[in-house]
Amino acid sequence: MNGNVSTPKLIGGIGAILLILTITPHFGAIAGLAGIVLIFISLNMFSKIFNDPQIFKNALISFIITIIGGFLAIFTVGAIFFSLFTMVRSHPHSSHIFSHIGIGTALVLTVLYILLIVSAHYLKTSFYLLSSYTGVNLYKTGGLLYFIGTILMIVVLGVLVNLVAWVLIAVAFFTTPEEIKSEA
């Protein structure tokens, strides 16, 4: 099969650059959202070119797990504030209020951390597949670094590792050959 990948590689490269820009103030959230959308469009196009729905499906599963984690975090913050206000009103001089909230928060943060690692695994798998079809090993390296960076998020070093991963993924998109030949 021969496939021209100029459009998905350009869209993916721009998406990866926008994901790198999420660290910028004011523009970061919008850039990150646009980057995610462009990465998904690109991976969907690659899925169709290589006739392998797993490329896009793994990325989609990753995104869904991340969204579930985000809702869990928002729900937890809301529950903490609600609990704090109701407990302080009913027991204004009790010192055990904060220990109960702290245990619950630690449990939810642990679940959120595990969800993010599982999500990163699925995205890594998507980039591994893309690497095998394009022959560009930077996809594999970037996916692995993203996975490692997510694991290291607990010590904040992961943010830097994830930025490096998205730089490598952007370079991978831009260095992917225009024409991909495969023996299928």
Q: Are 42 and 9 in contact (CB under 8 A)?
A: yes
Between 91 and 41, whose confidence is greater? Answer: 41
Beta strands in the chain, from DSSP E residues, in sequence order: 2-4, 179-181
How far lies 20's CA from each of 130, 158, 160, 168, 179, in Å? 20, 14, 10, 10, 27
Q: What is the pTM of this model?
A: 0.86
Q: Which residues contact 12 (CB under 8 A, 6 or more apart)?
A: 38, 39, 42, 43, 46, 169, 173
Domain residue extents for the chain: 2-177
Query: Among 75-79, 81-85, 125-129, 151-155, which is the least confidently predicted range?
Result: 81-85
Q: Are residues 119 and 65 in contact, defined by beta-carbon separation less than 8 angstroms?
A: yes
